[in-house]
Structure 1
């Protein structure tokens, strides 16, 4: 993300993103990084400092302002509603939406558990879904 200027990241969670989402909203209202840093309130300064520490470990060349402006946070719906929405979307892109859903669920579950039963990378697993 740090080296590719056009990369955008979207985080999904069933829980709200709290102070980080508030900081992201604030960053979106600022004209540039200088204004962003100059106008941070106390709560935002604390969240920004925590984020800066985490970024320094994983993306040291990425500022908090740049990260926040290239990131969106989305709170996911309840599992039942999410499943319905996925089926609706899969109907348009898969001849067998149930099989596609089951395959996606299995592969995402394995990725979440850090299991790799077939030694395929994530991108090649997704390529086999169509």
Structure 2
């Protein structure tokens, strides 16, 4: 079974679906409203929405005759937490690499650390 995060990233791999999500970020919309800027059928937009819905990124509700599509932020929170975790890990690796490079630079005879620009002076 594919996990929730994989389904969400897979659904967002398509540029049309990413655009639909971006448009829904400003508010709910109907399929007709979402289809307006595209040169595709309502059925094609409905298929994109079905993929987004299966990934848990959007939900559809019934409001009288309208069927607005709503963006589900909780899945994006999960994606953001996953991305942030790996961003922090990468940052820590870069900091360790910076420390190793600084140590190597300090060990070389006849080298000096680069001077930092003084406050108020531009390099």
Same fold (TM over 0.5): no
Q: Which has the higher contact order (CA 8 A, sep 6+)?
A: 1
Larger Rg: 2
Q: What is the TM-score when the length of structure 2 is the normalising length?
A: 0.31
